Amino acid sequence: MKTLNPIAYAICLATLGTVTVSTAAVADATNNNPLETITVTASRTQSSISDVAATVWIIDNEQIAQEVSTGADLKNVLGRLIPGFDFGSEGRTNFAQNLRGRTALVMIDGVSLNSTRQISRQLESIDPFNVARVEVLSGATSIYGAGAAGGIINIITKKAASSELEIQALAGLASGFNNSEDLDKKLALSIAGGNNAITGRLAAAWSATGGAYNADGDLILPDITQTDTQFNDTLDIQGNVNVTIDEQQSLSFVAQHFNSEQGTEYGTYLGPNLAGILGYPEFIQIQKGLSLEEQPETERDFFNLQYHHRDVLGHELLAQVFHRTESLSFFPFPSIFRVTGSPFPGQSYPIFAASEQDTDITGAKLVLVKDTDTFRLSYGLDIDSESFTAKQHIFDLNAALASGGLAFEKVQTLQRYPNIDSDHLALFAQGEWQANQQWRLSAGFRYQQIDLQVGDFTGLLQQHLSASGLYPIAPQSIPGGETDYDEWLFNAGAVYKLDANQQLWANISQGFDLPDPAKFFGQGNYSGPFGEGPLLMDSVNIANNPLSGIKTDSLELGWRKAADNYHFQLSAYYSLSDKTTSFNRNTLAVVVNDDERRIMGIEGQLNVDLSQHFYTSVQAHWLRGEVKTDGNWSDLATEEASPVTASIRFGYADDNKGLELQLQSMSDYDDEQNNKLDGYTLAHLNGHYKLSVGQLNFGIQNLFDEDYETIWSQRAQILYSSLSAPALFTYGGQGTRLAISYQASF
């Protein structure tokens, strides 16, 4: 593993040593001490950060707005502001954007956006205009169950601030000034208010992106793997109502419709007769002329009903019922099979296919809280039921050949993955004891049960050849079945208050992950010289290969302090999981290995108010990830490992204006297979100026026009290396872009 850009890393370490941070970052609106900021994520009930035996970050609306003013989307905003969170891609996916080197559980208002099918679009879920704040709990946690081995990112939506009528409006533009197609647009409007009994907010945010251009002014290659958001329209409509029933009871309801859909004329030209993916990558280039009726899209509907009662048999009660349905579609991707008698060289047989994957989930949560002067007990249950189906659209090969992969005519609709139904039940309890003025102790458990039902599945090539009339008999299916998982997860922590503004803490906690069953089951070897026949020889199925869950044990030590002009938080952690996952490079199927994985690291954030108006900030995350194979530890594979990162800010702010310069840096990383990630350092500038009515915001992203590749681009070239040449997966980072917006409240 290599180091950070030397200058950036040296500055970060020097600043860490002097303990300096920006106090404006997370301070509660009613309290000048940021350690007394209230979080609901850390313990599922309201707690001050100073009482939490864990690393907690609060990203407030002002911070989010500052980053968005440079043209950044939500996943890149969080990648800049959360020390342990990897930098984001500039496409649609947040695949392998890890928290402390492991997967993160992403939630909206306490409801998980993760699914049994692990598609990485959780952070393409809400427009930042509708985000009040983001609460982050770093490290493995047993409090919320599966999917949180690296921590939790809880997005809290905006609600009406009071009963008074308030209208908020925002309009913005962003461009790199390369040509007329290099323009992003945004409009957003909300209305909020009510009376003493009922308040509500209704909002709509629309954005339209143009092309994305690199530092050389060239259009960035479209992402045909996880897709991108060039020439894309996004609409986020959200409404909520809060009802005060009486002094003891309240009710709230949130509904959201989110849609993000591409509509581009540009595609990736693969050369005559697809020569670009058949050994001649020099033909791969961007061209106009894409003909595709259904382009990549994310569509999600979300409903969340919450009930709160302050006194039920001496307990505080919180109940929640939610429903989420989503449909995610992808771009046609060329897969190269081998079929006896194929006219292509080496009997290769290309198939262009695009998947459409649907998830439907309904669930409920119940929490009871018993408070005394020195003790708090929180306990309850989580239940949900999820259904997943996926289709694979096959496109006419002759049309694709004649157009070099630009014209797509749907000819078949097949099954992409086995149908997956899962039922989740969890019981949990968490106790907190204020032993004396200095010590606060906590401990808890979670019992997690998962019932998994997997449908029968026939190999994709076999489905296609059978539907094309090329088999004398129907192909055999890979059998499905049922299995279940029972996991006990425990946690314990302690906070020691050195004084009112300074604490030390330690915790141990367990996390649990279930690898993606859709990409694990349904893998089969069929008859024929190249496995293209109809007879099933062997397969990965529930009866013979039950999918193992992965448990992660985590240890953390931390220190935080707030003073009149600075605030910092620093923690060291170690996590160990009993198994690892990897990808089959030929099929991209998930493989579970009985190898331990350990990740150790240090993360910190420090800010200082240099004077009344000037401030500086630094954050850094150093980590090392290793896997134990045959008794020996080695570095994690590049496509899974998280690099060392750091960022530095210098800013000025007064009552009317502000200006901030940010540097963000990612280290190089290489593994023992000689795969590597090339690090980069970017500079961004943002500012604002208050007008007599409203505020003008502006920002410059990639201020010095750095030429770089995003972390996802580099990972994609490794993950898909056996499927095509790296040229097909090279997605450069965007060059310098200027963004300007106006917002006002009435």
Encode pLDDT of 93-104 as tens digits: 998 899 999 999
What is the per-residue pLDDT for 670? 93
**AA identity, residue 602:** I
pLDDT (tens digit, 9 = 90+) per residue, 16-28? 333 333 333 333 4
Torsion 460-462-467-473 (CA) sign = negative
Place of tokens 């954005």: 207
Predicted confidence band of residue 227 (pLDDT cuts 50, 70, 90):
very high
User: Stretch 274-299: mean pLDDT, rounded?
Assistant: 93
**Residue (of 232, 222, 329) closest to 270 by Cα position:** 222
How far is it, in rounded angstroms, from Cα 280 to Cα 269? 12
CB-based burial of residue 180 (10 Å sphere; 0-12 exposed, 13-18 middle, 19+ buried)?
exposed
Place of tokens 């599945």: 457
More confident: 45 or 712: 712
Question: What tokens were used for 719?
Answer: 């993950």
pTM of the model: 0.93
Mean pLDDT, rounded, of the chain = 91
Judged against a pLDDT cut of 70, whether residue 564 lies above it is answered with yes
pLDDT (tens digit, 9 = 90+) per residue, 413-449? 999 999 999 999 999 999 999 999 999 999 999 999 9
CB-based contacts of 14, cutoff 8 Å, min separation 6: none
What is the per-residue pLDDT for 505? 97
Judged against a pLDDT cut of 50, whether residue 15 lies above it is answered with no
**Residue (of 142, 74, 68, 80) closest to 105 by Cα position:** 142
What is the per-residue pLDDT for 623? 97
What is the per-residue pLDDT for 140? 79
Please give the angle made by the CA atoms of 380, 386 and 390, to the nearest 5 degrees: 160
What is the per-residue pLDDT for 385? 97
How far is it, in rounded angstroms, from Cα 167 to Cα 694? 12
What is the per-residue pLDDT for 29? 37
Provide the pairing of β-strand 333-338 with 285-288.
unpaired
Provide the pairing of β-strand 104-108 with 151-157.
parallel
| Measured distance between the N- and C-terminal CA atoms of the chain, rounded to whole angstroms | 53
**Residue (of 264, 265, 283, 263) closest to 273 by Cα position:** 283
DSSP 480-530: -EEEEEEEEEEEEEEEEEEETTEEEEEEEEEEEE---GGGTSSEEEESSTT
Judged against a pLDDT cut of 50, whether residue 162 lies above it is answered with yes
What is the per-residue pLDDT for 39? 83
What is the per-residue pLDDT for 608? 97
**Which percentage of the chain shows pLDDT scores above 90?**
80
User: Stretch 318-337: mean pLDDT, rounded?
Assistant: 95
User: Stretch 146-161: mean pLDDT, rounded?
Assistant: 91
**Residue (of 706, 694, 614, 705) closest to 660 by Cα position:** 614
Secondary structure element (H or E) that encloses residue 465, with its range: helix 460-467
pLDDT (tens digit, 9 = 90+) per residue, 603-616? 999 999 999 999 99
Query: Rounded to 5 degrees, what are φ and ψ at 104?
Result: -110, 145
What is the per-residue pLDDT for 345? 82
User: Stretch 683-711: mean pLDDT, rounded?
Assistant: 96
User: Stretch 371-379: mean pLDDT, rounded?
Assistant: 94
What is the per-residue pLDDT for 28? 42
**AA identity, residue 31:** N
Question: What tokens were used for 138?
Answer: 């770093």
Q: How many beta carbons lie within 10 A of that of residue 163, not counting itself?
A: 14
User: Stretch 585-598: mean pLDDT, rounded?
Assistant: 86
What is the per-residue pLDDT for 34? 79
User: Stretch 141-162: mean pLDDT, rounded?
Assistant: 88
Provide the 8-state DSSP code for 475. Answer: P
What is the per-residue pLDDT for 26? 35
**Which percentage of the chain shows pLDDT scores above 70?**
96
User: Stretch 323-342: mean pLDDT, rounded?
Assistant: 94
Judged against a pLDDT cut of 60, whether residue 503 lies above it is answered with yes
How far is it, in rounded angstroms, from Cα 443 to Cα 448? 17
Judged against a pLDDT cut of 90, whether residue 695 lies above it is answered with yes
657 forms beta bridges with 689
CB-based contacts of 208, cutoff 8 Å, min separation 6: 184, 185, 186, 232, 233, 234
Judged against a pLDDT cut of 50, whether residue 5 lies above it is answered with no
**Residue (of 716, 719, 742) closest to 729 by Cα position:** 716
Question: What tokens were used for 322?
Answer: 């939610």
Question: What tokens were used for 478?
Answer: 């890979």
pLDDT (tens digit, 9 = 90+) per residue, 185-195? 999 999 999 99
How many Cα neighbours within 13 Å face the side chain of 126? 27
Predicted confidence band of residue 32 (pLDDT cuts 50, 70, 90):
low
**Residue (of 417, 720, 726, 452) closest to 583 by Cα position:** 720
User: Stretch 125-137: mean pLDDT, rounded?
Assistant: 95
157 forms beta bridges with 131
What domains appear along the chain, each with residue ranges and CATH number?
A: 6-745 (2.40.170.20)
Predicted confidence band of residue 36 (pLDDT cuts 50, 70, 90):
confident
